Amino acid sequence: MPKTISMLTTIKGSLLERFYPKGWNLKKIDACCQMTLDQLTAPKRPWHAHFKPIPVDSVSEMDRRMGDAIADQIESTRSANQQLAIILPVGPMGMYKTVVERLLASNTPCDHVTTFNMDEWSDAKGNTMPGDQPGGFEHAMKHALFTPLLHLTVPPNQRNFATKTNLPTYSDKIAALRKKGARLVTVYGIGRVCHIAFWEPQLAGKFKTPAQWKKQTHRLGVALHPLTVEQNSLHSFMSRFTLIPCFANTIGPGLFLQSDFCIGGADGVYPDRGASWQSCSLCITLGHAPTPWLPSTFMPTMPGQLFFMKQLAGPLLPDAH
């Protein structure tokens, strides 16, 4: 029988040989892509006892359930007279509509909440765009969450954005809140190259040990992997990659791995096309052993929930569209 031709057998000498992060084991990644929904959700890997992957049938269901999970954290800490420090992403975004609806319906003030946006576009030196510029994460959060919450909203001085001057203060601010008994929650999406926030996989090569990697609280001006730029061009910029900065400021594992609870989401499917951009990323996150070269593989080691579209599960088989 002739030898099967695939990327794994033809990568040597190709441009892709230097394209993927050097710490990636492509055979292990490919094996994750063969896993079925039942295999991906079976609690047989080194997961936290209180981590739960939750498949859903539609994007609207995922938006609702993620939004409910966030609102639960805000309402429960309010009822317990406890401060809440919450790390928030810009994406998935549909969840914020549910958060707003829930909090307005329950008339829950958010003056006990301090928010920390996990990342922001930047240049190589960490300088970010103005907060009111469309496409920026501060602008997106104001329109999706803070303004619609009306009189119940998070006070402006308790909203933190990942600017060059403010991001380095996150760690101390969160530590001070936790000394007062605050609960730390991280909400996240999974990147094309399995980043959390914009903590890219190639950053693993800058640290001698996983322990050193885990201590990093933030980084200014991270060089984004080309697949990250392409991912964001597809779902945030109508494929217009010329608008996307090549760098970003981001929190690091030294913050998100300290969370009391994590709420994740993966909705990267095109149902009418039978296609997706996030299937491989999800399969790796749930199927691969934790490694700094694939940051999202640490999320199942944390207490929390990961909501994802059922269509993202494997086995991932070739099919022309």
Buried b (16+ CB within 10 A) or exposed e, 146-161: bebbeebbbeeebbbb
d(CA 221, CA 273): 35
Strand order in the sheet with 218-223: 119-122, 247-251, 218-223
Give the relative orientation of helices 95-106 and 59-79 as an angle to the nearest 10 degrees. Answer: 40
Q: What is residue 321's predicted lDDT score, i.e. its pLDDT?
A: 61
Closest CA to 231 of 242, 223, 239: 239
Q: What is residue 3's predicted lDDT score, i.e. its pLDDT?
A: 62
Whole-number average pLDDT of the chain: 94
Rounded mean pLDDT of 205-225?
98
How wide is the angle at C-alpha 96 spanned by C-alphas 159 and 297, nearest 5°? 85
CA distances (Å), 191 to each of 58, 180, 227, 309, in order?
19, 33, 9, 15
- pLDDT tens digits, one per residue of 128-181: 988 788 888 999 999 999 999 999 999 999 999 999 999 999 999 999 999 999
- Tell me which architecture the domain covering 50-312 has in CATH: 3-Layer(aba) Sandwich (3.40)
Q: What is residue 171's predicted lDDT score, i.e. its pLDDT?
A: 98
Task: Please classify residue 6 by burial: count the beta carbons closer than 10 Å to its beta carbon, then call 0-12 exposed, 13-18 middle and 19+ buried.
Answer: exposed
Q: How far from chain centre, in Å, is Cα 48?
A: 18
Q: Is the pTM of this model over 0.75?
A: yes
pLDDT higher than threshold 90 for residue 55: yes
User: In sequence order, what DSSP letters do the residues of 255-307 get, joined into one string?
Assistant: HHTT-SEEEEEE--EETTTTEESSHHHHHHHHHSPPBTTBGGGGGGGSSEEEE
Neighbours of 38 (CB within 10 A): 8
d(CA 138, CA 240): 20
d(CA 61, CA 55): 10
Show me where the domains of the chain are located.
50-312
Give me Rg for the CA atoms of the chain: 19
CB 258 within 8 A of CB 216: no
